[in-house]
Structure 1
């Protein structure tokens, strides 16, 4: 099998189908997953551990293959940050972390799964790491909505957007110090992404901000708690 990952190849489409089925099953059996608090916490922590172990193994692999570098290996990408917050949320259950996972996590991870910036194909470990961690972010966000009963709010979407922009100066500084491209703030990914349709640098960054805000609003509209009328 070709070792180079190709977007929308049979392997990629299979991953998208698996994600779709997983989301459908989570929604279908959401009531069954409403466990006793102790069992619920145990399940959440097990998933947190698997995500953490997978990411630690990824960094070990980077080090062993001389791929680890300050310019691209720090957890400063949107999905890397979302993964850290997802693990903390699953381990602690801290509701202050839910908004970030639901808005930034789901929006960023879904975009990454559909248009992956990935150089390793199935069955390489990096392939499994990429799709397992990104799927874990999406499923955790949906789990807290459908199973834990968290209702996304408009204020939560705005707060997440402000939080991301508050982090950007740090990302920009790190990019300058280590010649990095975290969050694609200096150039677009080489393997193609939605950024290819957003114009040249630096204008695509403004479009990226607008797109992120619109995705947050869409997530809020889809999953917000609706008032029901009874006659």
Structure 2
């Protein structure tokens, strides 16, 4: 029987070695719900597009819920570990979530483009290959699934309802921002021994993340990451531009 205290257990499985695997339903159901919401968002976008008050209320409601999900993660970790590298919001999804919250309330186009490319990619990867350490008996599971789901939906909402489409210049700028963040984290991880964005120069990190060896090991796997990033930005921009022109 899971107690309330157990439900809010928030220790890092990297620190404890305790890992609760997801069953098929726990893994696939959030993905199914996400794609259903994306479908209905684009199908019924005019409801929000033609009603500014409804759009504003929805953004505020989702934004506040997003803030609660975002802050609860770091507050619960802080309650356990205090001032520790675990409470630093330096993962790509963490950075994208922070910016997505700002986007929801400000409708900033520059932020939008960055969140579109990094948030959707990071969010989808996190849902399809979840590394949570907790199943549906724990709050962390719901925090993880909901936060990443909102992260993906946020830029898509602005695309569907507000007509935000990335220009070539904005796409290049977003790529440069991502590169700056990645290079900073590469150096930070090297000196602090952390794992943010899974970017490493220390060969010993391959022992903790053995999948890296399948891509040439450290540092060769970084070349693969760079190539995948470039392909993602180019294909996403071309795909969105094609859909935009087809719609017009």
Q: TM over 0.5, yes or no? A: yes
1:205 has 2:219 as partner: no
Quick one: higher RCO (CA 8 Å, sep 6+), 1 or 2? 1
Gaps of 5+ in 2: 2-17
Distance, in Å, in 2 between the alignment partners of 1:198 and 1:24 is 35
What is the aligned partner in structure 2 of residue 28 from structure 1? 43
Structure 2 residue aligned with 1:160, among 157, 174, 181?
Answer: 174
Structure 2 residue aligned with 1:221, among 234, 238, 241?
Answer: 238
What is the aligned partner in structure 1 of residue 66 from structure 2? 51
Kindly state the Cα deviation for residue 157 of structure 1 after the two structures are TM-superposed. 2.4
Shift in alpha-carbon separation, 1:226–1:88, aligned structure 2, 3 A: closer
Post-superposition CA distance 1:10-61 (Å, at most 9, x none): 3101222111211111122111121433432232122111111111111121
My pick for the range that moved more, 78-87 or 184-193, is 184-193
In the TM superposition, 1:1-150 aligns within 5 A as 4-6=19-21, 9-66=24-81, 69-70=84-85, 72-150=86-164
Shift in alpha-carbon separation, 1:221–1:67, aligned structure 2, 3 A: farther
Kindly state the Cα deviation for residue 8 of structure 1 after the two structures are TM-superposed. 7.0
- Structure of larger gyration radius: 2
- TM-score, L = length of structure 1: 0.86
Kindly state the Cα deviation for residue 211 of structure 1 after the two structures are TM-superposed. 0.8
Post-superposition CA distance 1:75-112 (Å, at most 9, x none): 11110010011000001111221101111111111111
Gaps of 5+ in 1: none
- TM-score, L = length of structure 2: 0.81
Q: How many residues were matched structurally?
A: 228
Q: Which has the higher helix share?
A: 2
Contact 1:107 1:212 in 2 (8 A): no
Distance, in Å, in 2 between the alignment partners of 1:179 and 1:190 is 12
Contact 1:188 1:196 in 2 (8 A): yes
Post-superposition CA distance 1:141-163 (Å, at most 9, x none): 11011111112233322221111
SS class of match (2:46): coil
Shift in alpha-carbon separation, 1:206–1:7, aligned structure 2, 3 A: farther
What CA RMSD, in Å, does the superposition of the two structures yield over aligned residues? 2.8
Contact 1:145 1:223 in 2 (8 A): no
